[in-house]
């Protein structure tokens, strides 16, 4: 018999009941992230009709062309959290400096990639949003940037919204990973993927292979190895790459395999951002039983030096990621 649907709010309230010391603010914070997801999903559904495709003409701190939807998604996070009293600082891929929010006693720091996969905006392909939540010990008494620059192990929650064929909210508060699907007719997220476990090995690789000739030889050899015909080891792997990190990692979280945005010979730091992309996805994937590495060290242990710092990201099934590390480190 089908179980009565569990809404996001009910799930959060039940989880909170196990922590009598909790004030409920954190639960509201997660619900508000869900709200941002609903608002953006609403915009995306009719984006091609409402003249919100294309670029703003600006360039962001990452040196990237800003899409109108990047701006809209960032503004939505700001609007939802500005007067919420929940977060004392909001840091975003799209904002050079963290935005301080004047609220006495707001405990949380929120870091976001407000719209992930923005090259997909104009072609009706999947998009996402990524979030990382940390607890502030200092409030606003200290320069905010210093407190934000802590390792990924300090995250207390992380997750993403995937705007695909349906909208999903996937998150962890350090006790497993749970997925909720937005039921548009009632505007509620319903539990659809409880306690997600990533397979220990997969058959899919996800990487922008156009960059092959820029990679160090260990990375090239690893990719070559995935194409070898060998039934016993499940090779060749299938290649799947959407250009949206959230969507590509989501596929691997559910079905197993490996996602790579590796370091390049002339750009050893890779492309993706440690604080907004690498750390939150690493927490999710580790909580589901997988691994996330730079090639030489665990992502969550990387000591951040700057808010917009980039990091090579190799993430997915534990066995696949360990194998990639062996090649990158010259051990295979
Ligand atoms: P964002 O849209 O937030 O800037 O992120 C883009 C990222 C990520 O979504 C994707 O995996 C990757 O960049 C795609 O990069 P390439 O076009 O170089 O493959
Ligand atoms: Mn970007
Ligand atoms: Mn991104
Ligand atoms: Mn982005």
**Those residues with Cβ within 8 angstroms of residue 123's Cβ, 6 or more apart along the chain or in another chain:** none
Domain CATH code at residue 240:
3.40.190.80
Which neighbouring-strand residues pair with 180? Answer: 169, 191
Ligand 3 centre and the CA of 116: distance in Å? 4
Pocket lining: 270 vs ligand 1, CB cutoff 6 Å: no
How far apart (Å, rounded) are the C-alpha atoms in residues 321 and 264?
A: 18
| Pair (129, 222) in one structural domain | no
- Is 113 annotated as contributing to ligand binding? yes
| Pair (147, 231) in one structural domain | no
CA angle at residue 100 from 76 to 61, to 5 degrees?
70
Query: Looking at the domain assignment, is residue 46 inside a domain?
Result: yes
Burial class of residue 123, CB neighbours in 10 A (0-12, 13-18, 19+): exposed
pLDDT of residue 141: 65
Pocket lining: 208 vs ligand 1, CB cutoff 6 Å: yes
| Pair (250, 216) in one structural domain | yes
CA angle at residue 157 from 200 to 21, to 5 degrees?
125
Query: Looking at the domain assignment, is residue 3 inside a domain?
Result: no
pLDDT of residue 1: 41
Q: Order the strands of the 188-193 sheet from edge to edge.
A: 99-100, 87-92, 108-116, 127-135, 157-163, 167-172, 177-183, 188-193
Domain that holds residue 85: 8-193
Pocket lining: 223 vs ligand 1, CB cutoff 6 Å: no
> Where is 308: in which H helix or E strand?
none
| Pair (49, 173) in one structural domain | yes
| Pair (132, 38) in one structural domain | yes
- Domain boundary residue, one of 172, 193, 214: 193
What does pLDDT average to in each consecutive run of 10 residues of the chain (332 residues)? Answer: 80 82 84 97 93 94 95 98 91 96 83 97 97 85 82 97 98 96 96 97 98 98 97 94 98 98 98 98 98 98 98 98 98 92
The pick from 68, 118, 243 for probing ligand 1's pocket by mutation, whose C-beta has the most ligand atoms within 8 angstroms, reads 243
CB atoms inside a 10 Å sphere around CB 234: 11
Q: How far is CA 121 from the centre of its chain?
A: 17
Cis peptide upstream of residue 155 (ω within 30 degrees of 0):
no
Asked whether the beta carbons of 198 and 304 are under 8 A apart, the reply is no
pLDDT of residue 13: 86
- The first and second tokens of residue 298, run together, are 């665990």
How far apart (Å, rounded) are the C-alpha atoms in residues 165 and 182?
A: 11
| Pair (172, 226) in one structural domain | no
Ligand 2 centre and the CA of 93: distance in Å? 7
Asked whether this complex has an ipTM greater than 0.95, the answer is yes
| Pair (65, 118) in one structural domain | yes
pLDDT of residue 208: 98
pLDDT of residue 15: 83
């Amino acid at each position: 018999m089908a179980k009565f649907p569990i809404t996001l709010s009910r799930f959060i309230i039940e989880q909170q009941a196990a922590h009598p010391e909790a004030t409920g603010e954190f639960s509201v914070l997660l619900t508000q992230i869900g709200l941002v997801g609903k608002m953006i999903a609403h915009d995306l559904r009719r984006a091609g009709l409402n003249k919100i495709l294309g670029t703003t003409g600006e360039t962001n701190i990452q040196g990237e062309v800003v899409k109108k939807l990047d701006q809209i998604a960032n503004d939505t996070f700001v609007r939802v959290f500005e007067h919420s009293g929940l977060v004392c600082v909001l840091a975003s891929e799209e904002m050079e400096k963290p935005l301080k929010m004047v609220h006495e006693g707001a405990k949380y720091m929120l870091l976001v990639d407000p719209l992930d996969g923005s090259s997909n905006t104009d072609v009706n392909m999947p998009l996402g949003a990524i979030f990382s939540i940390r607890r502030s010990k200092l409030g606003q008494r200290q320069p905010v940037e210093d407190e934000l620059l802590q390792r990924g192990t300090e995250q207390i929650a992380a997750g993403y919204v995937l705007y695909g064929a349906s909208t999903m909210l996937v998150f962890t508060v350090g006790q497993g990973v749970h997925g909720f699907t937005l039921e548009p007719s009632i505007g509620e997220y319903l539990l659809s993927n409880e306690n997600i476990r990533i397979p220990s090995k997969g058959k899919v690789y996800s990487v922008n292979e156009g960059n092959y000739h820029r990679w160090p030889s260990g990375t090239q050899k690893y990719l070559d190895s995935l194409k070898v015909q060998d039934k016993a080891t499940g090779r060749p792997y299938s290649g799947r790459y959407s250009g949206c990190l959230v969507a590509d990692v989501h596929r691997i979280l559910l079905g197993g395999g490996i996602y790579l945005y590796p370091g390049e010979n002339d750009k050893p730091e890779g492309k993706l951002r440690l604080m907004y992309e690498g750390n939150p996805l690493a927490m999710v994937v580790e909580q589901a039983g997988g691994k996330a590495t730079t090639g030489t060290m665990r992502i969550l242990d990387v000591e951040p030096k700057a808010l917009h710092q980039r990091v090579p990201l190799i993430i997915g099934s534990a066995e696949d990621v360990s194998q990639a590390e062996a090649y990158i480190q010259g051990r295979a």
